[in-house]
């Protein structure tokens, strides 16, 4: 049975944010993009029409391409990635709650740790904003 709550999160994000389509919001239509996601979070659009989101309990980061409708996992074992943003060089930043760090996905796909909690009693980061 589909996890309706998570599916709603993904396609309502498309509807609500719709970054590449923001100028013609009156023509949007709502459609379900995925089933059986385990808590979809952290949606962020890039300038190429791709939606990135995390599946916290599924422990993955996904990419959805608006033009083709293709999904792909870009990070497995995501350490509970949640909030995401892009830096000024268009690299994906991810808050990893379980890994207690902020990581950066380079353009070639490699992952670099930008910050890590220095004490095990501290929780991991949840959200991030670049301004």
Residue 105: give the domain boundaries: 4-116
pLDDT digits (tens, 9 = 90+) for 104-128: 999 999 999 999 998 877 778 989 9
pTM over 0.85: no
Domain containing residue 42: CATH number: 2.120.10.30
Number of structural domains in the chain: 1
Q: What string of pLDDT tens digits covers the 131 residues of the chain?
A: 344 444 444 444 444 444 555 566 677 777 777 778 888 888 899 989 999 999 988 999 999 998 998 999 999 999 999 999 999 999 999 999 999 999 999 999 999 999 999 887 777 898 999 98
Q: Is 126 inside a domain boundary?
A: no
Q: Is 121 inside a domain boundary?
A: no
Give the β-pairing of 101-105 and 92-96. Answer: antiparallel
35-53 core/surface letters (b: 16 or more CB in 10 A; e: else):
eebeebbbbbbeeeebbbb
Q: Is 131 inside a domain boundary?
A: no
């Amino acid at each position: 049975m589909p996890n309706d709550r998570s599916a709603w999160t993904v396609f309502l994000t498309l509807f609500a944010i719709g970054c590449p389509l923001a100028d013609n919001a009156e023509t949007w239509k709502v459609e379900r993009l995925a089933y059986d996601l385990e808590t979809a979070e952290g949606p962020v659009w890039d300038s190429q029409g791709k939606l990135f989101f995390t599946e916290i309990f599924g422990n993955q980061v996904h990419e959805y391409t608006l033009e083709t409708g293709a999904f792909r996992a870009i990070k497995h074992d995501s350490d509970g990635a949640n909030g995401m943003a892009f830096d000024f060089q268009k690299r994906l930043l991810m808050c990893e709650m379980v890994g207690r760090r902020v990581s950066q996905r380079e353009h070639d796909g490699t992952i670099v740790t930008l910050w890590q909690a220095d004490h095990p009693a501290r929780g991991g980061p949840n959200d991030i904003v670049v301004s």
